[in-house]
A = this chain, B = another copy of it.
Amino acid sequence: MALIVQKYGGTSVGDTERIKNVAKRCIAAQKAGHDVVVVVSAMSGETNRLLKLVSQITDRPNEREQDVVVATGEQVSIGLVALAIQAQKRKAVSFLGHQVRITTDSTFSKARIKSIDAERIVDALKKKNIVVVAGFQGQDEQGNVTTLGRGGSDTTAVALAAALKADACEIYTDVDGVYTTDPNMVPAARKLERISYEEMLELASVGAKVLQIRSVEFAMKYKVPLWVKSSFTDDPGTLVCEEDAAMEDVLVSGIAYDKNEAKIAIRGVPDVPGVAAKIFGALDEQSIVVDLIVQNVSKDGRTDVTFTVGKADLTKAKDVVKKIAKAVKAEGVETDDQVSKVSIVGVGMRNHSGVAAKMFTVLAGAGVNVQMISTSEIKVSCVIHSNYTELAVRSLHTAFGLDKQEAAQESEVVSLKR
């Protein structure tokens, strides 16, 4: 007998038929002898519908009030899921964020969970209920409704699993696990049986949108075993867990890409202390998130500073940077929104040298020019021209031995038949 937290995303509860299917899955887990807590998102399209109403009222919504509006999406879902479970003759009860004291800070629209009081859930489980909890929402210490940002239901599920000391947290979504790379781009992409928290974190942060980053951080911090599964199949999915020896034997676990970046280069910046602080301080003041930063060694007392931002922030960032460039007497500002970031991720890198070098060799061999490079302990990222994204990802996927075994065997069989 275990305690399992299941989380169903918007497509899994997209209509009332799918909601009945979710109810079936929850009941199956209970029949298998488990205590079941279910976290649900808003029905797909609902959050966007609500945000559209808000945008018809105002361009610059107060985030407290916007949270009041958008939090209703999950509220509708929990009621419907509880009703669907009851219609299948099992006990169920729904709870809103504030009813199980999911307490957050007051950063409306992207609040962070501070604490959860699991008592009411434990009581309801003791009475043989399947407990249905609204994802994405909480309340701050003044009792205001808060939301956790896009994908926040993942974080609700993991935080509940941690608070309840659950045996597992299962994230049900419309894909059947975590892949070595985007299967839409690379047909040979392989589903991973297991992946470490850190690798998942790097993959998530470089654009593999299976899980919200914060939920993975939470799972890592509280050592919650996290399963990514499909709500439409019975595939076992991918387990995100602590790394072990077997994982370290694999050099590269996955390849991610992000087409949503833009590059800004400030040419001929006087190489004196404090210039970088001025540039990135000014960007931070405008809430512009900077990703990669590269500064070359200086020449004749001047250097080039290059960095990337989200494409949506490019115009705003350019304005900020141009002012600073003038103030510090830099030679000029160049921007480029035709770039992509391609990253290889793997805990095995820690104990192996030459992984970055191999990446550059593979890219060079494919004729892909590398514009910027950034590395972490378990990741190497390269910024390249966006036209080469697919070529780069496919070449790296093959070179680092990630292509599907079955695919390879199948092609052999095909060869034999010829």
Contacts and interface: CB of A to CB of B under 8 A. Distances in A.
A82 B84 CA distance: 34
A75 B72 contact: yes
Interface string A82-98: 11101100001110101
- Interface range on chain A (Cβ under 8 Å from partner): 35 or more
Interface stretch (A59-67, A181-189, A202-210): A59-67
Nearest to A100: B143
Nearest to A91: B62
A83 B57 contact: yes
A286 interface: no
Contacts of A79: 54, 65-69
Interface in A12-36: 16, 19-20
A53 interface: yes
Contacts of A68: 75, 78-79, 82, 94, 96
A117 to B, nearest CB: 12
A20 B57 CA distance: 7
A128 to B, nearest CB: 15
Interface of A is mostly: helix
Nearest to A54: B83
B62 A86 contact: yes
Nearest to A145: B96
Nearest to A69: B79
Contacts of A145: 96
B75 A71 contact: yes
A50 interface: yes
A62 B86 CA distance: 8
A61 to B, nearest CB: 5
Contact of A82 (B62, B76, B92, B94): B62
A409 interface: no
A84 B58 contact: yes
A101 B145 CA distance: 15
Interface string A223-260: 00000000000000000000000000000000000000
Given A68-B78, A71-B75, A96-B145, 6 more contacts: A64-B93, A65-B80, A65-B86, A68-B79, A72-B76, A99-B144
Interface of A: 16, 19-20, 50, 53-54, 56-58, 61-62, 64-69, 71-72, 75-76, 78-80, 82-84, 86-87, 92-94, 96, 98-99, 143-145
